[in-house]
Amino acid sequence: MFALGIETSCDETAAAVVRDGREILSNVIASQLDLHAEYGGVVPELACRKHIQVIDGIVERALAESGLGLAEIDLISVVRGPGLIGALLIGVNYAKGLAWGQGLPLVPVNHVEAHVYGSAMSNPQMEFPAVGLVASGGHTSLFVIENLGKYRRLGETTDDAVGESFDKVASLLGLPYVGGPEVEKLALKGDPNVIRFPRGLTKKRSYNFSYSGLKTAVLYHVKGYGKTKRDRDRISEKERADVAASFQEAALDVLVQKAVRAAEEFRARSIAVGGGVAANRRLRELFHGCAAKLGVAVHFPAPELCTDNAAMVAGLGHRLYTKDASAATYDFDAEANADFFQ
């Protein structure tokens, strides 16, 4: 069965063709990075206009690269939320039109659920129950996965998402957007033990996250009270690298602590990590160290399935449809705050 996935929830226009929920035949992503770079973040109106301009060409490319024609596609799935409402509307309405025109089933999927499915897609041996952790630019979510399709919420960020804090700290350190990979690179040259930045909400039993305090602590450390502009400009390369490494350690440490504690409490067989921050190598190291002691397997998506993409969308759409054909419907709308927990 061939599924075509479409994703336009933020600043990537993506389309992919996946066979039987796992085998990726094409995975095309048009990033709008250059468009938003000068603003230091995504401008929603610009994102929507760009999606409209390119979506048709991106779907055509995904089909061409898969070697299939539209007539050979069996199913279309599209992200209905969460995300920027204007951006979601483009993908949802495009997918509705395409599916309707072809007489195909259309499966709406949740973006956060698709991120965690990316991990399952790359690790077919994953065992349940599992703890799911989605760490991206828009989300920091922890949940129990009883089985794919059945989720229970444990916690969310109460302010910034973890990826967003990487982006903000990158900007503070004069690194380009997207900040996560840049901070990771600079952190390799630094010492994570030089500055003890705060670990948000770790003293409470709560599974929620908070990243705004960490971001502010980094801000004061770099631009501190009483420092003149000359002092700030004098921050050495070594200091910048130490700030990057110490920030990264604090940001990731919380994710690992809470996910591992949840795995213990809910007797999970595995931990499934997804989202852009899952591409971070230090996160993988920290998890493998901790989880090995606990005897829990930790699964990450293949690198191309970490950041936003449509292969995870096509895969999840197939999975939901084969489990229950009533997952296919035209009767849905784009939803900025779409949820998937029972």
| Interaction site with ligand KG4 (CB under 6 A) | 10, 136-138, 163-164, 166-167, 178-181, 184, 275-277, 279-280, 307-308
- Closest contact distance (angstroms) between CB of 191 and ligand KG4 is 18
108 binds, among Zn ion, ligand KG4, none (CB under 5 to 8 A by kind): none
Residue 145 in contact with residue 127, Cβ under 8 Å? no
280 binds, among Zn ion, ligand KG4, none (CB under 5 to 8 A by kind): ligand KG4
Interface with Zn ion (CB under 5 A), residue from 8, 66, 122, 136:
136
Distances from the Cα of 27 to the Cα of 50, 198, 311, angstroms: 19, 39, 6
Give the DSSP letter string of 52-109: HHHHHHHHHHHHHHHT--GGG--EEEEEEESS-HHHHHHHHHHHHHHHHHHT--EEEE
- Closest contact distance (angstroms) between CB of 135 and ligand KG4 is 8
* SS3 (DSSP) at 19: strand
- Closest contact distance (angstroms) between CB of 274 and Zn ion is 8
As a whole number of angstroms, the longest Cα–Cα distance in the chain is 66
Span from 146-154, 217-225, 250-258, 301-309 in contact with Zn ion (CB under 5 A): 301-309
Q: Can you tell me the distance from the alpha carbon of 174 to that of 176, in angstroms, rounded to the nearest whole number?
A: 7
Q: What is the C-alpha radius of gyration for the chain, rounded to an integer number of angstroms?
A: 20
The sign of the CA dihedral 221, 243, 37, 228 is positive
- Closest contact distance (angstroms) between CB of 234 and ligand KG4 is 27
180 binds, among ligand KG4, Zn ion, none (CB under 5 to 8 A by kind): ligand KG4
- Closest contact distance (angstroms) between CB of 282 and ligand KG4 is 8
279 binds, among ligand KG4, Zn ion, none (CB under 5 to 8 A by kind): ligand KG4
Span from 59-67, 134-142, 237-245, 334-342 in contact with Zn ion (CB under 5 A): 134-142
Contact status: 113 vs Zn ion (CB under 5 A): no
| Dihedral pair phi/psi, residue 145, rounded to 5° | -105, 105
Of 136 and 141, nearer to Zn ion (C-beta) is 136
The enclosing H or E element of 33 equals helix 33-37
Contact status: 12 vs Zn ion (CB under 5 A): no
- Closest contact distance (angstroms) between CB of 92 and Zn ion is 16
Give the DSSP letter string of 259-306: HHHHHHHTT-SEEEEESGGGG-HHHHHHHHHHHHHHT-EEE---GGGT
> Which residues contact Zn ion by CB under 5 A?
136, 308
